[in-house]
Amino acid sequence: MPELFEIHTNGLLPLIDAFEGHPIKTKEKHLLEGETHNDEFLKLIYDGKDNKYPTQFHQHLFVTEEEVQQYKIDKGNPYPLKCFLWIIDIKSIKILWEMTPNISRTKSHPEKPYVCHTNITGDGKAYIGGEMYFCKNGDIYVNFSSDRYGFVAKEEKRLMAIKYIEDCNYKQIIRTDNNL
């Protein structure tokens, strides 16, 4: 499958800018240096419509059952070392390893020297976004933990995002945003 079909786009509307609808953060005030470009990451951003693991994926990035329990990934807790950021844009799902170094962002956010969701979009629009973890047993934990694109999403939009991810042949999806 897997570029977006009309059924997907209708269920994912509207496309939003980063932080659109966020109760506190705004694009103008909260997008900092290094967070509004993606040129240097384009070759690393995986187009999930191809139904495989992200380009940056290596065997050591599979989450083990022990790590699921230890870091409580199944309860929605983060584990940045093995986390992948995802967004759905006008064409498909895009995926990028969260620990991808971002030198430009380090200047404004020394405590966060890695990519963020807007490094996938290049400060463009997306329907929705979050995090995903690929497990050794085939489970894929998915949440909507993106203050830029997932925070304000209504349940119908979240369900359509999960449907689209499944339509891209990512199976055994387990939502963690509702396990907190």
pLDDT at 135: 94
> Which CA distances in Å does 179 have to 13, 75, 77, 102, 142?
25, 5, 10, 31, 11
pLDDT tens, position by position, 44-91? 999 987 667 787 777 789 999 999 999 999 999 999 999 999 999 999
pLDDT at 55: 72
pLDDT at 49: 76
Domains of the chain by residue range: 6-175
Which H/E stretch holds residue 53? none
Q: What is the pTM of this model?
A: 0.94
pLDDT tens, position by position, 135-179? 999 999 999 999 999 988 999 999 999 999 999 989 899 999 865
Looking at residue 44, its amino acid is: L
pLDDT at 178: 64
13 by Cβ neighbours in 10 Å (0-12 / 13-18 / 19+) ranks as: exposed
